Structures are given as structure tokens and as C-alpha cells.
């Protein structure tokens, strides 16, 4: 332990990102100042929103600067602390980015109880993706028992939680995912009532069959054709929480032909970013952690091994190669 390997953003992608956009460097392990904590990262979180940060265009956050460590959520162990609230050995979640070691103020870390839930899960169902699911479902869709909720990217870190929370509320829950394997797991592992394979080429008919009474709520992670098809099957006063539009993150055209459904069915369509709803985090994390600890909320992880694997794992995530939460485990 003498050096810190880090992935920097080297240059911005044109369209799909490639490994050449990133650069692996070695740096000294940082010294900490007063109030700071040094953490050894055990897991890096890879999330679709990172694609947006790689661009230099208007979005909801500042772009990731070139030549800097790729941003991102992390889970690890405190090595050294000059904040009295943290002790070496504490398990913590933070935002230290794509590197083996990082430091920050103690206030930017959250201590987690790995006796209830494994450390990695605090980056998934018991972390930002879980809270994202909770906020979009509860504050925008607000489904009632008996309503039908459709979740795209249903096998992903967010989608799987959305569907399970909606089931607990007594909804009929339909997933949309890519390929028969993912669809089977969405039903069998996560307990969705049905899951439509958007790659099978019968999206409209399959969705109609899976949601025969129409759709009251849509938690949208994908956009494009999936969203456009869902729009035509929304019931009056339906709600669409726009959480992600991964089908267009690399600049792909993503025309929506059925916008008029918003008028015809008097829909509410609302975009949101979980970090702007901090007031809900404590309640959401409490509920999610409890459900996971008691086995009522399932999760899956796709784990890439070693810091070297981060760019490829991230690109795979954008292409849907992951199942559940995409992580990188550090040695």
C-alpha cells in the first residue's frame, strides 16, 4: 500500500464511450488534514448518470472535469481519521470516485451497519439507487393498491427496487427488460407479475397482454421506443416518473411520437434527480434497509473485479450487459 490507482476522464466521448476516454494513473495515497478521513474503497458504484457527466453539455450537474478522477459512489473502510466521529475500521459510504483510496471531510461519509446488510448493498438497494426508486415511486407515481405500474430497465439496480416496492403496495407490476433471462429473473426473483422482453420485437402487444387494464404508473429508466409504447397504453390520470433515459445517453435521437397521450390521458410526467430530494433519504434508507435485512427486498449485483475493470464494466452497464447493481470490487 504505497500508491493509489485512479481512473481519470481523459477525453470526452463522441457518442458511445470507449475505454480510450479514460486513463489509469498512479498517485500517492492522500494525506489527511483536520476533519478529514482516509478511506480505502472496497467497491466502486457504476451508474448510468455518469454518462451524462462525461459530456460537456447542459445537464443537471456540472460536467466531470477532464484530467480528474472519475466521480462516483464508493463503499469502503476508514484507514485514518481526523474527524472524531470516525474510527479506523468503520465501514462507510461516500463519493470518492474511481480510485483505490480517497479522502474527504467526515461529513461527506455515511457510516453503515454491515451486520444487517452487506457493504456493497449500500451502493445499491440500500443506497442511492434504492432511494431513487423510493422517491420516484412514492412522490411522483404514488400508486394505489390495484393499479398497474410498469418499470423499464426492470432488472437494473433501480428498477428491481421500484417493482418490489410497488408489489408491497398491492399493485400489479410489469417489468420491461432486455432478453428472456433477465425477464425470467424479474418475475421469479423479484416477484414482478410479468416482464416484457423489449428485444423480442412485440413490445406493444406484449405490454398490452401484461397490462390488460392499462398502465397507471410508469417508472421510466430507458426512454425511446419503450417510453413511446408505454405512453399509448397509459390510463387517464397516469403518472410517469422520468428517472433515466438510458437509450439516449450517448446522443442517440430519441423522438417521442405519442406525446399527445399526455393531453388525451391527462398524464403527469415528471423528471427528478434523487439528490434533490434529500429530505426523503432517511425514511427511504430506513425502509429499504429493513426490507433487505428481513429478506423482503431482493437484489442482484454484477461485480467486476479490480480497478482496471471499471471502464469496461461501465460501458457494459450502458449496453445493458449487467444484471442488477453494477459494482467494481477492489482488491
Which residues would be at the binding site for a copy of itself (CB under 8 A)?
A: 52, 58-60, 223, 227, 236, 242-245, 248, 253-257, 259-260, 262-273, 276
Q: Which three cell numbers stand for residue 93?
A: 459510504
Closest C-alpha among 37, 42, 185 to residue 123: 42
- Closest CB to a copy of itself among 265 and 302? 265
- Closest CB to a copy of itself among 51 and 300? 51
- Closest CB to a copy of itself among 137 and 185? 137
**3-class DSSP state of 52:** helix
- Closest CB to a copy of itself among 48 and 163? 48
| Residue 7, burial from CB neighbour count under 10 angstroms (0-12, 13-18, 19+) | buried
- 233/264 Cα distance (integer angstroms): 11
User: What DSSP letter does each residue of 170-235 carry, written as one string?
Assistant: T-EEEEEESSHHHHHHHHHTT--SEEEEGGGS-HHHHHHHHSTT-EEEEEESS-HHHHHHHHHTEE
CB of 294 to a copy of itself, least distance (A): 33
CB of 60 to a copy of itself, least distance (A): 6
CB of 320 to a copy of itself, least distance (A): 18
Q: What is the DSSP letter of 133?
A: H
- Closest CB to a copy of itself among 264 and 283? 264
Q: 247: alpha, beta or left, given left = phi > 0 and alpha = psi -120 to 50?
A: alpha
CB of 281 to a copy of itself, least distance (A): 17
- 6/95 Cα distance (integer angstroms): 14
CB of 82 to a copy of itself, least distance (A): 36
CB of 64 to a copy of itself, least distance (A): 16
CB of 215 to a copy of itself, least distance (A): 14
Q: Are the C-beta atoms of 72 and 129 separated by less than 8 Å?
A: no
- Closest CB to a copy of itself among 108 and 264? 264
Q: Are the C-beta atoms of 193 and 187 separated by less than 8 Å?
A: yes
- 259/251 Cα distance (integer angstroms): 20
- Closest CB to a copy of itself among 31 and 276? 276
- Closest CB to a copy of itself among 85 and 236? 236
CB contact set of 57 (below 8 Å; sequence gap of 6+): 63
CB of 321 to a copy of itself, least distance (A): 23
Amino acid at each position: 500500500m504505497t500508491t493509489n490507482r485512479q481512473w481519470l476522464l481523459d477525453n470526452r466521448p463522441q457518442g458511445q464511450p470507449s475505454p480510450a476516454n479514460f486513463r489509469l494513473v498512479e498517485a500517492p495515497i492522500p494525506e489527511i488534514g483536520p476533519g478529514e478521513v482516509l478511506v480505502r474503497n472496497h467497491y466502486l458504484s457504476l451508474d448510468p448518470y455518469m454518462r451524462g457527466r462525461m459530456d460537456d453539455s447542459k445537464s443537471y450537474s456540472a460536467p466531470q472535469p477532464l484530467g480528474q478522477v472519475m466521480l462516483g459512489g464508493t463503499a469502503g473502510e476508514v484507514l485514518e481519521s481526523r474527524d472524531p466521529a470516525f474510527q479506523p475500521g468503520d465501514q462507510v459510504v461516500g463519493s470518492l470516485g474511481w480510485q483505490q483510496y480517497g479522502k474527504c471531510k467526515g461529513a461527506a461519509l455515511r457510516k453503515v451497519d454491515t451486520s444487517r446488510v452487506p457493504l456493497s448493498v449500500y451502493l445499491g438497494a440500500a443506497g442511492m439507487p434504492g432511494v431513487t426508486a423510493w422517491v420516484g415511486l412514492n412522490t411522483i407515481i404514488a400508486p394505489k393498491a390495484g393499479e398497474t405500474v410498469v418499470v423499464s430497465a426492470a432488472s437494473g439496480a433501480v428498477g428491481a427496487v421500484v417493482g418490489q416496492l410497488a408489489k408491497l403496495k398491492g399493485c400489479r407490476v410489469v417489468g420491461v427488460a432486455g432478453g428472456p433471462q433477465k425477464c425470467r429473473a424479474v418475475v421469479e426473483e423479484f416477484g414482478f407479475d410479468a416482464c416484457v422482453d423489449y428485444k423480442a420485437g412485440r413490445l406493444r402487444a406484449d405490454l398490452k397482454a401484461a397490462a390488460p387494464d392499462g398502465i397507471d404508473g410508469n417508472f421510466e429508466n430507458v426512454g425511446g421506443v419503450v417510453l413511446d409504447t408505454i405512453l399509448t397504453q397509459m390510463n387517464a390520470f397516469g403518472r410517469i416518473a422520468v428517472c433515466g433515459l438510458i437509450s439516449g445517453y450517448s446522443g442517440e435521437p430519441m423522438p417521442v411520437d405519442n406525446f399527445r397521450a399526455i393531453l388525451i390521458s391527462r398524464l403527469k410526467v415528471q423528471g427528478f434527480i434523487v439528490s434533490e430530494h434529500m429530505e426523503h433519504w432517511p425514511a427511504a434508507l430506513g425502509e429499504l434497509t429493513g426490507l433487505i435485512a428481513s429478506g423482503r427486498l431482493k437484489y442482484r449485483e454484477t461485480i467486476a473485479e479490480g480497478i482496471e475493470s471499471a471502464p469496461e464494466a461501465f460501458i457494459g452497464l450502458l449496453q445493458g450487459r449487467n444484471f442488477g447493481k453494477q459494482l467494481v470490487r477492489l482488491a
